[in-house]
Amino acid sequence: MSNVTASPTGVRTAPLRSGFWLVVMGAALWGADPLFRILLLKSLTSSQIVLLEHVILFLAAAPVLWRHRAELKGIGLRQGGALLIVSWGGSALATILFTMALTRGDLNAVLLLQKLQPLFAIGLAAVMLKERLPRNFGPLIIVALVGTYLLTFGWTVPFGHVNSFMDTGSLMALGAAALWGASTVMGRFLLGSMKYETVTSLRFMLALPLLFVITTVQADPWQFSGGMGASAAIAINLLLQALLPGLLSMLLYYKGLSTTKASVATLAELSFPMTALIINWLVFGQLVTLPQIIGFALIWTALFFISSRQSQPEPAGAEPVNLKAS
């Protein structure tokens, strides 16, 4: 799949920037996750929540995958490996690693290291997909990362000494960031030979067996605290979490990713912490500070200029990224 199109004048132009903003919208929906997860954590473990969410997503994705079953015949070794990275790495292991990191390391250091995800994705996209970065992309990366830092930490220095970065929790946070970055790149690779609906469905369905094994090792997957009165609330919240931050967000994300470079999409994902900030303010009453407002403005400024780069003409001699497996 080419990520450029030819204009009537013969000058290749980048794909419509609407794809970029679809990635922004999909990632922004991830910020709604705490609205449902807080209640669920009173009765379920983290792994149970993820498992049950994927069961719902399996039921929703199965008819979609059946309609696109002809695409499964073209899955080769490279696509199979990419699917495992997207589903097992991005959907399951990265979330588990990050959750464990929050309990084993310096919290601020873990959060800061997780923000390195765009750098992993940009590096992998350059090596594996041969993506060329847009002009002036480097300064925009710095602006976006500074904005994300201010959103998370404000004016404070997030660590007391270098040892904050040398413990097990920090290594887990780095592992999660690398897996999420790799998931973005591999998702972009898969979209070169599959429709976004197929990639979304396979992401959820392939993660389910691994999540079942992990949850079974930890405890009974189907046992939860709380009486029958809590069952309806749990079911409603699970359904909403699976369909909004889960299914709808990933459909928007992968549809946008199909016309957006992975190195650019990973910065569009910074809409996630901004949405979480707004929800914390509106729903949970957490006041927004001046540094967070500045960080919010910096991220949106970077996203605006990155989006504008997406619609600028590229040189006629520039080669499109070839995402199809040989």
pLDDT tens digits along 210-240: 988 988 887 766 666 655 556 777 888 888 8
Q: Is residue 226 part of a domain?
A: yes
How far is residue 10 from each of residues 45, 131, 319, measured CA to CA in Å? Answer: 56, 21, 14
Q: Is residue 190 part of a domain?
A: yes
Count the helices and strands in the chain (H runs, E runs). Answer: 15, 2
Question: Span 244-253, mean pLDDT?
Answer: 90
Q: How confident is the model at residue 165 (pLDDT cuts 50, 70, 90)?
A: low
Q: How confident is the model at residue 159 (pLDDT cuts 50, 70, 90)?
A: low
State the pLDDT at residue 4: 43
Distance CA 236, CA 240 (A): 6
What is the overall mean pLDDT for the chain?
A: 79
Of the chain, the percentage scoring pLDDT greater than 70 comes to 79
Instruction: Write down the pTM of the prediction.
Output: 0.78
In this predicted structure, the answer to whether residue 152 has a pLDDT above a threshold of 60 is yes
How many domains, the chain? 1
Q: Is residue 7 part of a domain?
A: no
Give 83-97 pLDDT, tens digit per residue.
Answer: 999 999 988 888 778
Q: Is residue 11 part of a domain?
A: no
Q: Is residue 325 part of a domain?
A: no
Q: Is residue 305 part of a domain?
A: yes
Distance CA 57, CA 92 (A): 14
Q: Is residue 139 part of a domain?
A: yes
Of the chain, the percentage scoring pLDDT greater than 90 comes to 22
Q: Is residue 326 part of a domain?
A: no
Note down the domain range covering 160. Answer: 21-310
